[in-house]
Each structure stands twice: as structure tokens, then as C-alpha cells.
Structure 1
Amino acid sequence: MIQRIQTLYLTISFIASAIVPFIVPVWIENETTAVYFTDALPSMILFGLSSLLALISIFSFKKRQTQFVLNRLNIISNFILLGFFVYRTLNLSGGTEVSEKGIGIVLPAISIVLLVLANKAIKKDEDLVKSVDRLR
């Protein structure tokens, strides 16, 4: 049942954590230097973990509880990634120079929102299946 709405949410979350970070910078230093997620090892690991969990969750559609747990783990990894980005932006060297935040910092937040929506849809499906089982 790949045509469910949570699969759409998970696919967009996968795109936001696996494809978009290669395209958009996390922030821009000195108005010329774009800093991508590949410049820091923790962000590479966490983006990779997030995209891997989203991909596994997409294809585990027959096991709703497993999908729900994987999404929760993915939310936790995205919160850690968001905390890492906040820490990095608050401790940038050259605080007097202008550094512009890119859209890459917002990607974990977008992914968190999509994963929460997917979990709500999974919970709705699980409740529907339980209500049908009661009627049998």
C-alpha cells in the first residue's frame, strides 16, 4: 500500500534529507563561501541516518508499528541535527563578519513536520484496522 498519504510525507522527507542538502548550502560565510552539509562529519552522518530511516520506513508499509517507531527515531535524529546546526551557527568563527543562514538549516525542521504528519496518518490507519477487527 505505497499509495497511502504517509508514504508521500515520507518521500518528501527523504528528498529533504537525502537530495536537497547536496543542492542548497547550510549557510553562507563572508557573502561568498557556501558551507554545505558535507563540511562537517556529524551533519553528514545525521543526514545519512535520516534519509536511511525514511527510506526503510517507506518500504516497511506492511508493518505499521515498525514504521511508526522508525519515524520516531528519525524525528529524534532530526532534532539532534537541528541542535547541531544551531550550535554551529551560534559558535561560528568571525562573529563580527556577516554570515547568512541558508535554507539548509531549516531542512531538519521540515523533515520533522513531515514525519509527525506521517505518524498521524499511520496512527489513523492503525485505529481504522483495529476498529474493523472489532467488527469481525
Structure 2
Amino acid sequence: MLQRIQTIYLLLAAACMVLASVLPLATFTFNGQPVTFEAMGFYLNGELIFNTWGLFTLGAISAILSLIVVFLYKKRILQIRLTVMNIILMVGFYLFFLFLIFMRNPEADTTFEKVGIGIIMPAIAIILSYLAIRKIGEDEVLVRSLDRLRR
């Protein structure tokens, strides 16, 4: 059912999580050299210095789950539950991001420079997922009201 608005919301949420997995999340300076924090790791001069595959995995699972939910259009309650679980995964993405920041921050001469565009994407995906939940709920209420009329 690609003509439903919640499908658009879920596809956009999946796209946001893919972007969060590939775009830079933050930039630091370490001993005067720029360090880029991406979902796959910390990069110093283009070279991987610390691996963060867990963050990439959370983003990928969240994107895949959004795509799976699109095709469960006949099971609206399951769609709502999986979308809520997806929002929890996105919040977990942020929590793991903060954990990694605080784990690496105590090192000497590490200063925060700027936030990357990738870190904004899960927040947009959370909002889009919430909007999808509301529309799926409206569909469920409509179907139940029509079932009541048929009896």
C-alpha cells in the first residue's frame, strides 16, 4: 500500500537512518588534528582509529525495520508495535552515540568542534515514525468502525 501517507513517513524515516549511518556525526580535534566521528568509527586523517560498528548496526537495523513495517500493511497493530520498537532503537542510537562520545572524550587534548548532519537524522526519523504511528492508528480506528457497521 504505497499510496498511504504512513508509508511515505516510514520510507523517509528509513532514508534518514541510512543517512545517519553514512554521514559524519561529529567532529573533534585531537592534538590539533581533526577527528571525524562516523557511525562506523572515529577517523583521523581518513584512517580508522577506533571502531564503532555497533552504532552503524543500530542505524542499519532501524532502517531495515522501517522498510519491513511498510509491507505489513494488513497487520496494523503489528505495524504500530514494530514502529514503537524502531523508535526505541533510534533512541538507543543516540544513547550509544553519547556513550561513545563520553568514552573517548577523557583523552588528553580532545576538544569538540561541531555536530555533523548525520546526528540530526535519527531525530527526524523519530518524528516521522511517530507521525506514521498516528496515521496507522487512524486507519485501525476506521477499519474497526466499518467492521461495526457491517454486523
Fold match (TM-score > 0.5): yes
The offset of 1:87, in angstroms, is 2.5
CA contact (8 A) 2:20 2:39 kept: no
Higher strand proportion: 2
Matched, 1:37 2:39: yes
CA contact (8 A) 1:26 1:102 kept: yes
The offset of 1:121, in angstroms, is 0.3
Flag the 1:94–1:110 CA change in 2: closer, same or farther, 3 A.
farther
Give the counterpart letter for 2:18 in structure 1: A
Distance, in Å, in 1 between the alignment partners of 2:71 and 2:15 is 15
Residue 3 of structure 1 aligns with which residue? Answer: 3
The offset of 1:100, in angstroms, is 1.4
Other structure's SS at 2:74 match: coil
Distance, in Å, in 2 between the alignment partners of 1:120 and 1:99 is 37
The unaligned stretches of length 5 or more in structure 2 are: 42-51
Query: For the aligned residues, what is the CA RMSD?
Result: 1.8
Residue 105 of structure 1 aligns with which residue? Answer: 119
User: After the TM superposition, which residues 78-93 of structure 1 pair with which residues of structure 2 at under 5 Å, given as runs?
Assistant: 78-91=90-103, 92=105, 93=107
CA contact (8 A) 1:2 1:61 kept: no
Distance, in Å, in 2 between the alignment partners of 1:20 and 1:35 is 11
Match of 2:64 among 19, 35, 52: 52
Flag the 1:19–1:105 CA change in 2: closer, same or farther, 3 A.
closer
Give the counterpart letter for 1:34 in structure 2: T
CA contact (8 A) 2:19 2:118 kept: no
CA contact (8 A) 1:43 1:81 kept: yes
Match of 1:74 among 57, 71, 86: 86
Residue 13 of structure 1 aligns with which residue? Answer: 13
TM-score under structure 1 length normalisation: 0.89
Other structure's SS at 2:111 match: coil
Number of equivalences: 135
The unaligned stretches of length 5 or more in structure 1 are: none
Matched, 1:118 2:118: no
Larger radius of gyration between Structure 1 and Structure 2: 2
Deviations 1:93-121 (A, max 9, x none): 44652431112222221111111110000
Matched, 1:134 2:148: yes
Distance, in Å, in 2 between the alignment partners of 1:25 and 1:132 is 48
The offset of 1:45, in angstroms, is 1.3
